[in-house]
């Protein structure tokens, strides 16, 4: 497939104008096929106007039509074949095996939301039937359901070109809900974005849905992103990326004449607490798993374990020694793009200047700068140094982490209380450790979105029970997830109907209701018709 570099606006290809750029292969530092350009304000307006025009046709399409679209999209992604994997590999340096698995995840998400739509219970329909002869006043018929909000702008992630990109969870669940989507394509992998955009249009056409329901615009700088967030037709924004970029867009969304929800997933340091009995029993094994997690995807996961906290003693010493030995075995690998690699080197360079922070171990092989490679680096410090240096509590995106020594349980709990919001926290221990450190669990319940026992945050299972979010600054709103079926709730809102005849109600609120869907009728959960 030839890469054109064109924007995709409601099914039309629009040639790039103005400032242009090319994708650069991180492993070779060479430009790749396709010349892309910054979208204009007019392009953004056209895309969002088309999205708004397509809104009614999309949201009023039958559940079966929307579900079939999602399943067809999964087929179209697969139909791109090895060419998609090869382009993504060239643009991101992610291994082919990882990309093959991620493609499967993206396809699985399409099918998961198709199943959610067909079930129907997700819409949370609620019916309170009229009681005309109630005294002293009659009770009206009141019904409520979740409905789509309108055009959604999606900012894809650099580190998941399939699963959190053009066809990622944000896009898929917004379209499932009935919301048109305008994607701001990631400038680090625009060719991959183009190929996936063609898959979306193929699926829309095959299922008779409007092309205006989807657009992809590119931009190397910040201008087009700000324009999309400010546009009055945009009704919500989904973002995955850095705290700096996410906070800037979050403020833009809040400052609009009509403020809109901004759902940002902005990363965290994902602390890992290693408890005494676990250290006594399996310090070496934990160290091995820890370093593997630190280096998963060259450390480019938002759930990367950047801080480990444990009590001083022989167990923690053995853990550090094991982690240092494992780090030395790690071969430097290419990061997603040069900007991320330079930020990683700059961040760890600052760490080297901080008194009380020591390098415990790193990759024994030097990285190749021309291949955008980063080495693994494991540091050690004490909790007071970590608490007194803000630089150590900020995410450095890449394969680095800090093992932190606490002198007492009280110090460990104090550190936990002082944490900012996190996506994840992990506890490694025995069941006896969990009972003894129950206050730690209670603290973490207020600080993080997902608590893992004897595991690490890297590796997310997209499923109904998954919550990928957390208190600010990990995410902009701790109530919502960007992974799993509950992600759809970001793009709907409740609408209440009072006194409407049955035929004028949305299908979910009609007396017959969707077959098999659960609804709350007069306060009781049931799947029966009214």
Peptide bond into 473 cis (omega under 30): yes
Distance CA 202, CA 516 (A): 31
* Both tokens assigned to 516: 């098999």
Calculate the alpha carbon distances from 355 to 233, 406, 414, 512 in Å. Answer: 51, 17, 21, 70
| Residue of 102, 265, 362, 411 with catalytic role | 265
β-sheet bridge partners, residue 452: 426
Distance CA 22, CA 190 (A): 8
**H, E, C per residue of 183-251:** EECCCCCHHHHHHHHHHHHHHHHHCCCCHHHEEEECCCCCHHHHHHHHCCCCCEEEEECCHHHHHHHHH
In 3D space, the residue among 444, 315, 304, 440 whose CA is nearest the CA of residue 378 turns out to be 304
Q: Where are the beta strands (DSSP E) in 228-366?
A: 236-240, 262-265, 272-274, 307-311, 333-334, 358-362
Q: Which residues contact 435 (CB under 8 A, 6 or more apart)?
A: none
| Residue of 302, 341, 376, 400 with catalytic role | 302
Q: Is 86 a catalytic residue?
A: no
Q: Is 265 a catalytic residue?
A: yes
3-state helix, strand and coil shares in percent for the chain, rounded to the nearest 5: 45, 20, 35
What is the H or E stretch that residue 31 is in? strand 30-31
Known catalytic residues? 265, 302
């Amino acid at each position: 497939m030839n890469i054109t570099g064109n924007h995709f606006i409601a099914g039309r290809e629009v040639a790039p104008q103005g400032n242009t750029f090319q994708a650069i292969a991180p492993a070779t530092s060479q430009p790749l096929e396709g010349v892309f350009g910054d979208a204009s304000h007019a392009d953004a307006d056209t895309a969002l106007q088309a999205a708004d025009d397509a809104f009614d046709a999309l949201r009023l399409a039958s559940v079966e039509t929307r579900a079939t679209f999602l399943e067809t999209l999964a087929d179209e992604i697969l139909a791109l074949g090895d060419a998609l994997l090869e382009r993504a590999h060239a643009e991101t340096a992610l291994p082919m095996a990882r990309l093959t698995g991620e493609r499967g995840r993206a396809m699985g998400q399409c099918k998961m939301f198709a199943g959610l739509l067909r079930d129907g219970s997700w819409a949370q329909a609620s019916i309170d039937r009229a009681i005309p002869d109630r005294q002293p006043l009659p009770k009206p018929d009141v019904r409520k359901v979740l409905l789509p909000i309108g055009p959604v702008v999606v900012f894809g992630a650099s580190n998941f070109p399939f699963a959190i990109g053009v066809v990622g969870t944000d896009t898929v669940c917004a379209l499932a809900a009935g919301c048109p989507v305008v994607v701001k394509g990631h400038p680090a992998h625009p060719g991959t974005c183009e190929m996936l955009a063609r898959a979306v249009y193929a699926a829309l056409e095959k299922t008779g849905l409007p092309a205006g329901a989807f657009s992809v615009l590119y931009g190397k700088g910040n201008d087009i992103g700000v324009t999309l967030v400010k546009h009055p037709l945009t009704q919500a924004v989904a973002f995955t990326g850095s705290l700096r970029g996410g906070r800037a867009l979050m403020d833009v969304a809040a400052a609009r004449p009509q403020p809109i929800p901004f759902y940002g997933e902005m990363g965290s340091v994902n602390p890992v607490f290693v408890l005494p009995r676990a250290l006594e029993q399996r310090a070496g094994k934990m160290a091995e798993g820890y370093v593997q997690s630190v280096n998963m995807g060259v450390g480019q996961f938002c759930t990367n374990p950047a801080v480990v906290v444990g009590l001083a003693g022989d167990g923690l010493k053995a853990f550090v020694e094991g982690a240092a030995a494992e780090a030395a075995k790690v071969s430097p690998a290419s990061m997603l793009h040069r900007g991320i690699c330079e930020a990683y080197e700059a961040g760890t360079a600052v760490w080297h200047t901080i008194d009380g922070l020591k390098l415990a171990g790193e990759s024994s092989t030097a990285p190749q700068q021309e291949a955008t490679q980063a080495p693994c680096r494991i540091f050690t410090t004490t909790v007071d140094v970590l608490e007194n240096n803000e630089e150590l509590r900020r995410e450095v995106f890449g394969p680095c982490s800090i093992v932190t020594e606490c002198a007492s349980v009280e110090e460990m709990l104090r550190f936990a209380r002082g944490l900012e919001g996190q996506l994840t926290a992990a506890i490694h221990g025995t069941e006896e450790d969990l009972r003894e450190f129950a206050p730690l669990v209670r603290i973490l319940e207020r600080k993080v979105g997902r608590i893992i026992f004897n595991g690490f945050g890297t590796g997310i299972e997209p499923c109904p029970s998954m919550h990928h979010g957390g208190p600010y600054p990990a995410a902009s709103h701790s109530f919502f997830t960007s992974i799993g079926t509950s992600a759809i709730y970001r793009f709907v809102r409740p609408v209440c109907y009072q006194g409407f005849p049955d035929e004028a109600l949305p299908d979910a609120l009609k007396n017959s209701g969707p077959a098999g869907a659960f609804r709350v009728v007069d306060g009781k959960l049931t799947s029966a018709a009214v």
